[in-house]
């Protein structure tokens, strides 16, 4: 009887696999957010875009639906909707019923506020229609965020000990110390320009992440990644914030079609050089120096070149580049890069860390760190093409004695190149 039961079970399983296998639960539904975020970035028909090493665009579009029958989301207005250079607040929730967003000059008049309004507890998105450029004084934006975007507050790019003429010079970051080796783009120094490597002053809840080079966090002035790994918020590189107050959109598909009202906010970045690329320390003289028997000139060293990328371990370089800039060009063009973006309520962090230990800093880590997500996370991948520049440094790459022999360079020969026409390589 037992055998017959087993035969029946096997036969039934062949006809209906659900008899043998437990029914798989449906996947968890995607979380719904009040803001729909999309990176309108260069693409290649769904493939990898090929970009230059700077000057390429990131346009982040944020859609906020305004349901007619709902109280939220809604604009906080006093007395008008925002114009260029003025603040805008979109409120998504107000738990205590006292409308008291942290807007400049806001007067809380609700009966729920009482004579002494409580601290703001709103879930909100703060934005300032504005244009920012490195070094150009900015008169609009969140005051606290503007101060954070000054170079003395660590928004000018990471700084490390410098190797110079056989010695390591100790660096004191954020003090304009000439003994520091600083990486990244020019960000305007101490000018209140609303531009730099930190959270943005005009869209305070935006987080933009690229875990390469200056987009990482380091134990400055040591060229070591933090533990846990972290990411610098690149949203402060945003050049412009703009918005439309109200737009009507018809639903897609068959009739009857509904009409929804939206507000949209756009953030645009014209990507500077030396942001989304690795930082390299390069040693072109490993082992003993080799001199020409006749001229006595240095012609090389006995060992293979070494490099160190983004605070990682010292490794043998994949080729004998002899020049840091050549190594940087090789690595840039051999890498696939990714940029991610999302929104949080209120003010985003200047740095965000890997809270869940998966090695990737993303919106899940922001939520784990206590931030309220306002949007989905979007991302895009791309390749970059560098320019051939021969001067032995720059491009986020420097010479550094990695084997301790007191030397790091060999003679560099740069040949001229002809001018011609060409198409981007593929």
341 neighbors 210 (Cβ within 8 angstroms): no
Confidence label for 137 from pLDDT (cuts 50, 70 and 90): very high
Q: State the average pLDDT over residues 62-85.
A: 90
pLDDT per residue over 335-353, tens digit each? 999 999 999 999 999 999 9
Question: pLDDT at residue 169 above 80?
Answer: yes
What is the chain's mean pLDDT, rounded? 88
What angle is formed at CA 277 by the lines to CA 273 and CA 280, rounded to 5 degrees? 110
DSSP character string of 36-100: EEEEE---BTTB-EEEESS--EEEEEEEEE--TT-S-SEEE-SSS---TTS-EEEEEE-TTS---
pLDDT at 247: 87
Query: Which of 45-54, 128-137, 241-250 has the largest mean confidence?
Result: 128-137
Predicted confidence at residue 3, as pLDDT, reads 47
Q: pLDDT band at residue 425, thresholds of 50, 70 and 90?
A: low
pLDDT at residue number 111:
83
- Tokens at residue 350, please? 């200047």
Percent of the chain with pLDDT over 90: 69
Model confidence at 179, pLDDT cuts 50, 70, 90, reads very high
Residue 248, pLDDT score: 86
Report the distance separating Cα 292 and Cα 7, nearest Å: 85
Hey, what are 16's tokens? 């209906």
Query: What pLDDT band is residue 288 in, cutting at 50, 70 and 90?
Result: very high
Strand pairing of 280-283 and 397-399? parallel
Confidence of residue 194 (pLDDT cuts 50, 70, 90): very high
Question: What is the average pLDDT across 213-217?
Answer: 97
Q: What is the pLDDT of residue 414?
A: 67
The residue extents of the domains of the chain are: 33-277+337-385
């Amino acid at each position: 009887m037992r055998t017959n039961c087993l035969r029946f079970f096997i036969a039934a399983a062949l006809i209906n696999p659900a008899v043998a296998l437990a029914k798989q639960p449906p996947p968890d539904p995607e979380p719904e957010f009040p803001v729909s975020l999309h990176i309108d970035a260069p693409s290649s028909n769904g493939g990898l875009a090929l970009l230059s090493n700077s000057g390429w665009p990131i346009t982040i579009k944020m859609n906020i639906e305004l349901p007619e029958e709902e109280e939220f989301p809604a604009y906080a207005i006093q007395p008008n909707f925002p114009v260029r250079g003025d603040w805008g607040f979109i409120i998504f929730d107000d738990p205590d019923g006292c409308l008291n967003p942290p807007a400049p000059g806001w007067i809380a008049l609700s009966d729920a506020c009482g004579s002494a309004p409580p601290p703001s507890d709103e879930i909100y998105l703060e934005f300032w229609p504005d244009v920012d450029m490195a070094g150009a004084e900015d008169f609009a934006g969140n005051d606290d965020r503007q101060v954070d975007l000054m170079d003395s507050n660590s928004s000018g790019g990471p700084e490390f000990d410098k190797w110079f003429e056989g010695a390591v010079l100790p660096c004191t970051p954020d003090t304009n110390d000439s003994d520091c080796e600083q990486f990244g783009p020019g960000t305007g120094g101490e000018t209140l320009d609303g531009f730099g490597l930190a959270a943005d002053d005009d869209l305070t809840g935006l987080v933009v992440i690229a875990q390469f080079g200056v987009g990482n966090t380091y134990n400055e002035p040591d060229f070591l990644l933090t533990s846990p790994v972290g990411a610098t918020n690149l949203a402060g590189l945003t050049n412009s914030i703009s918005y439309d107050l109200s737009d009507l959109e018809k639903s897609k598909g068959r009739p009857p079609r509904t009409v929804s009202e939206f507000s949209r906010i756009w953030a645009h970045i014209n990507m500077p050089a030396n942001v989304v690329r690795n930082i390299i320390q390069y040693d072109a003289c490993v082992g003993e120096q080799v001199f020409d028997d006749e001229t006595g000139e240095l012609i090389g060293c006995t060992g293979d070149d070494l490099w160190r990328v983004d605070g990682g371990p010292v490794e043998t370089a994949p080729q004998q580049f002899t020049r840091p800039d050549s190594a940087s060009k090789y690595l840039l063009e051999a890498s696939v890069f990714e940029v991610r973006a999302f929104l949080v309520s209120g003010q985003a962090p200047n740095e965000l860390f890997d809270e869940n230990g998966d090695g990737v800093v993303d919106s899940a880590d922001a939520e784990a760190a206590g931030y309220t997500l306002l949007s989905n996370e979007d991302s895009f991948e791309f390749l970059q093409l560098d320019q051939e520049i021969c001067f032995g440094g720059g491009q986020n790459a420097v010479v550094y004695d990695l084997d301790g022999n007191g030397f790091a360079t060999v003679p560099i020969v740069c040949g001229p190149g002809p001018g011609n026409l060409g198409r981007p390589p593929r």
